[in-house]
């Protein structure tokens, strides 16, 4: 009765036929289509990276995030169909669960300290493949695993491809900090580099995000272009900073899944 009355009232105000179910279907259709396109682009990039760079007896670093899900999916397909023997080293709890759930062989950096390749996503990549990572809060482990690999490869969708950092990703550069130092780190960054340094707050709990290492994350929203190599070193010299989400000179190849279904490759 209430829905019928609402429909009649709206019909009288705007004219024509009004259907609540029609609005609901229309509301879902557009975002669903766009989301399908994004997921398809992620899958295409991840599959191509695994096909091009993973070989038998490889030691593979497994990154974190939504695009890496497809990389692990493809790796599992190849292991089970082709009989590849690979060791997988995770960068996070999420990555570890992906490896286990796909029945892949799990290792760690203590047992396997040198890797053939690491495959990971990025929040943004510029023309030189300088990356912003850490939207998911795993950038410390991700950087350690990437540095242990002979080849570090990025997989992402077209939304992460930029000419300069900050074009697409506007949430800032994640910086992992020791909890007792977060306020002094915030102030020092803002005084020395400008912009705004914000303590990241959790969404499903009261208080700040806590990383897998028991630390806080400060997101530095910068307001201009920098020499990222110098800035990265400058931030890391601040007492209390554990690691930054700037990956400078680490990634050698990136695969970007495009809107039209193709995969764009960038190599430096």
Active site residues: 142
pLDDT band at 3 (very low <50, low <70, confident <90, very high): very low
Q: List phi, psi (to 5°) of 54.
A: -105, 125
What is the sign of the dihedral through the CA atoms of 37, 126, 142 and 90? positive
- Average pLDDT (144-173) is 97
User: Which three-class secondary structure string do you get for 144-206?
Assistant: HHHHCEEEEEEEEEHHHECCCCCCCCCCCEEEEECHHHHHHHHHHHHHHHCCEEEECECCCCC
pLDDT level of residue 33 (50, 70, 90 thresholds)? confident
Span 188-196, average pLDDT: 97
pLDDT digits (tens, 9 = 90+) for 113-144: 999 999 999 999 999 999 999 999 999 999 99
Map out the domains of the chain as residue ranges: 2-31, 32-267
pLDDT of residue 29: 38
Closest CA to 50 of 140, 153, 124, 185: 153
- The pTM of the full predicted model, rounded to 2 decimals, is 0.86
Alpha-carbon distance of 120 to 118, in angstroms, equals 7
In CATH, the number for domain 32-267 is: 3.40.50.1360
Across the beta sheet with 124-125, what order do the strands follow?
124-125, 131-132, 246-247
Q: Give 193's pLDDT tier (boundaries 50, 70, 90).
A: very high
């Amino acid at each position: 009765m209430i829905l019928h009355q609402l429909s009649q009232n709206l019909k009288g105000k705007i004219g024509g036929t009004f259907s609540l179910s029609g609005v609901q279907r229309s509301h879902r259709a557009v975002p669903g289509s766009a989301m399908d396109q994004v997921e398809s682009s992620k899958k295409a990039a991840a599959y191509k990276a695994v096909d091009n760079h993973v070989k038998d007896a490889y030691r593979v670093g497994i990154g974190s995030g939504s695009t890496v899900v497809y990389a692990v999916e493809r790796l599992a397909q190849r292991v089970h169909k082709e009989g590849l023997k690979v060791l997988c080293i995770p960068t996070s709890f999420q990555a570890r669960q992906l490896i286990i759930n796909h029945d892949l062989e799990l290792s760690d950096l203590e047992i396997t300290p040198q890797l053939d390749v690491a495959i990971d996503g990025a929040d943004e990549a510029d023309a030189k493949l300088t990356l912003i990572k850490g939207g998911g809060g795993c950038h410390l482990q991700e950087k350690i695993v990437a540095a242990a690999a002979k080849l570090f490869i990025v997989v992402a969708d077209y939304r992460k491809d930029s000419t300069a950092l900050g074009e697409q990703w506007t949430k800032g550069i994640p910086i992992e900090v020791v909890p007792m130092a977060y306020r002094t780190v915030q102030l020092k960054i803002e005084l020395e580099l400008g912009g705004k340094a914000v303590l990241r707050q959790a969404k499903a709990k009261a208080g700040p995000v806590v990383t897998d290492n028991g630390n806080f994350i400060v997101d530095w929203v910068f307001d201009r272009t920098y020499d990222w190599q110098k800035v990265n070193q400058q931030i890391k010299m601040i007492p209390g900073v554990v690691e930054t989400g700037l990956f400078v000179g680490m990634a050698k190849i990136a695969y970007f899944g495009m809107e039209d279904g193709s995969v764009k490759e960038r190599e430096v």
